Amino acid sequence: MGTIHAEGLGKFYKRYPSRWSRLAEWLDPDENVRHEKHWVLRDVDFEIRAGESVGIIGHNGAGKSTLLKLITGTTQPSAGRAEVKGRVAALLELGMGFHPDFTGRQNAYMSGQLLGYSTDEVSARMGEIETFAEIGDYLDQPVRTYSSGMQVRLAFSVATVIRPDILIVDEALSVGDAYFQHKSFDRIRRFRDEGTTLLFVSHSPSAIKTLCNRAILLDRGSVLRDEAPDAVLDYYNAIIARREVEQAIRVEEAETGKRITRSGSQDANIRAVDLVDTQSRSARVIRACEAAEIVVDIEVRRNLPELTVGVLIRDALGNDVFGTNSFHHGQVIAAPAAGSAYRVHFCIENLALGRGSYSISVALHTQDTHVVNNYDWWDQVLVFQVIPGSRPLSIGVTDLPITIGINKIPSN
C-alpha cells in the first residue's frame, strides 16, 4: 500500500481550430484527425515506494498540477498509466466544494463523503476534526462567514483525520497562518514517520529539503531530474539562473514598459551580476550563514572622474535588508578610462540571512550615493533563496550568530 507507479505517463489536451472541427471529426467516417495535441506532460516514468517522501519542483506550467491530477485520478492520462495503490488524500485545493451557506459541520460531512468516507466514519471523527481545526463555535456557522484561514483549517482537518496511505500536498497549505501551518506540517511529518507516502509540491526549496528524501524536477512536461533533494535543487538553481538572464534581457528590452528596472547614463555599464557559492559556482539557493560572493562585471564607456559600485539586498516584500558600496569601504575606482573593464567581488563571509527569497540590485555612481552621477542602476538583477543550513532553526530576515548559555542559579 502507498505506492505510485508511473509508466510512460503523458497527458495532452486536444486543440481544435474551431468548435465545428470537433463535430466534423466526430462525424467523419474516415476518422481524420482535426485536432492538435497539446502535450502538458510526456513520457513520465517513476516508481515511488511506500513510505517515501517526494518533493515535486518546477516552474509554473511545468506540469506539476497535471501530474498530481493524474495520480489522484481527477484526469485521465492520454498515454501510459499511473498505478496507485492505497488510499489517497489530496490537499490540492483546500476548501474546494465548500458550500458557503452550509455550516462548517455540514461541509465537513460533505468533504469527508467526497473523500469516500461513510457518514458514520465522519460522525465518529467529528470530535477529532473539531479539536484539530480549532475554529470554535464557527463550526456551526455558515462557511461564508469564515476567513480563508479558517476554511483551510477545516479542510485540512477533514482531509487528514484518517491517516492516508498516500498524502498529496500542494501549495494550498501556505494560505493558513503560521501557527496552523506549523501544526499541519507536524501532522504531515507524523504521517510520514508512520509510513504514509508523501508527495509534496512546493516552490520553497527549504520545505522540500526538510520534508522530503527525494525530489523530482519537472520542466516543460517531462522529468529532468529525479534524485536526492540537494542535487535536484542545485540543478533547479541552474535553470533559474538561466531563466533569470533571459528574463532580465526581456525586461531590459521592454524599456518602454512601466517598470523601469534599469536607469542611468550608461557611461559605465553593469555587464553581468552573479551570485556564487563557496565553490565559486553560480548559485541561486544559498544555505544560511555560509559564505557567498556577489560578482559584478563592469564596462566603462567614457573617461570618468571616479566610480563607486554599490549592492543592495532586499527581501521578498521589497524592504532593504542590507546595502553598502565601495565608497564606504574606501575602494573607489579612481579615474577609470573609457574601454576598461572591472570585476568587483563583494565577498560575504557569512550570509546571515533568514530563510526566504531575496533580490540583489546593483548601482554604479560617483561619491557615496547614486543620486549624483547615476551611471547605471539595475533593480533586482537577480533573485536568490536562502535555505536553512546546519545552524539551529531561527525565524526572521537575519540569522544572527548566537549562542545560548544556561546556568543554574540558586533559587530563594
Map residue 250 onto helix, strand or coil.
helix
By CB under 8 A, tell whether 179 contacts another protein.
no
CB 70 within 8 A of CB 199: no
Rounded-to-integer distance, Cα 355 and Cα 301, Å: 39
CB of 81 to another protein, least distance (A): 5
Q: Which of 72, 222, 340, 359 binds another protein (CB under 8 A)?
A: 72
CB of 73 to another protein, least distance (A): 4
The minimum distance between CB 157 and another protein, in angstroms, equals 17
Residue of 34, 43, 51, 80 interacting with another protein (CB under 8 A)? 80
Q: Shortest distance, CB of residue 114 to another protein, whole angstroms?
A: 5
Binding segment (CB under 8 A) for another protein, from list 50-58, 117-125, 185-193, 298-306: 117-125
Identify the residue whose cell numbers are 538553481.
Answer: 237
| Residue 200 and residue 48 in contact, taking contact as beta carbons nearer than 8 Å | no
Among 17, 61, 116, 127, binds another protein (CB under 8 A): 116
151 near another protein (CB under 8 A)? no
Q: How far apart are CA 382 and CA 273, in angstroms?
A: 8
CA angle 363, 357, 291 (to 5 degrees): 70
- Which of 36, 49, 99, 227 touches another protein (CB under 8 A)? 99
The DSSP element (H or E) to which 148 belongs, if any, is helix 148-159
311 Cβ contact list (under 8 Å, min separation 6): 294, 296, 323, 324, 325, 346, 360, 361, 362, 363
- DSSP line for 184-244: HHHHHHHHHHTT-EEEEE-S-HHHHHHH-SEEEEEETTEEEEEE-HHHHHHHHHHHHHHHH
Q: Nearer Cβ to another protein, position 113 or 398?
A: 113
Q: Name the nearest CA neighbour of 161 among 189, 124, 120.
A: 124
Can you tell me which of 119, 145, 174, 280 binds another protein, judged by CB under 8 A? 119
Which of 18, 32, 60, 76 is the binder for another protein (CB under 8 A)?
Answer: 76
| Candidate list 1, 23, 347, 372; residue touching another protein; CB under 8 A | 23
- The window from 109-117, 260-268, 273-281, 377-385 that contacts another protein (CB under 8 A) reads 109-117
Among 37, 39, 105, 110, binds another protein (CB under 8 A): 110
Closest CA to 221 of 60, 40, 55: 40
For residue 13, the minimal CB distance to another protein (Å) is 5
Cα 386-225-94 angle, rounded to 5 deg? 65
Query: Among residues 45, 47, 93, 320, which is the contact residue for another protein, using CB under 8 A?
Result: 93
Q: Is residue 308 involved in binding another protein (CB under 8 A)?
A: no
Q: How far is CA 53 from the centre of its chain?
A: 17
Locate all alpha helices (DSSP H) within 227-375, ordered by sequence: 229-253
For another protein, give the closer residue by CB, 119 or 324. Answer: 119
Binding mask 24-63 for another protein (x = CB under 8 A): ----------------------------------------
Q: Which is nearer to another protein, 201 or 312 (CB)?
A: 201
- The one among 17, 47, 49, 113 contacting another protein by CB under 8 A: 113
Cα distance from N-terminal residue to C-terminal residue, the chain: 59
CA distance 144 to 151: 9
Which grid cell sits at 31? 476518422
User: Of the ranges 90-98, 131-139, 314-322, 351-359, which one interacts with another protein (CB under 8 A)?
Assistant: 90-98
298 interacts with another protein by CB under 8 A: no
Asked if 338 is part of the footprint of another protein (rule: CB under 8 A), the reply reads no
> Which of 3, 46, 92, 367 touches another protein by CB under 8 A?
92
CA–CA separation, 152 and 119 (whole Å): 21
Binding residues vs another protein (CB under 8 A): 13-14, 19, 22-23, 69, 72-84, 88, 90, 92-93, 96-97, 99, 101-102, 106, 109-110, 112-114, 116-119, 121-122
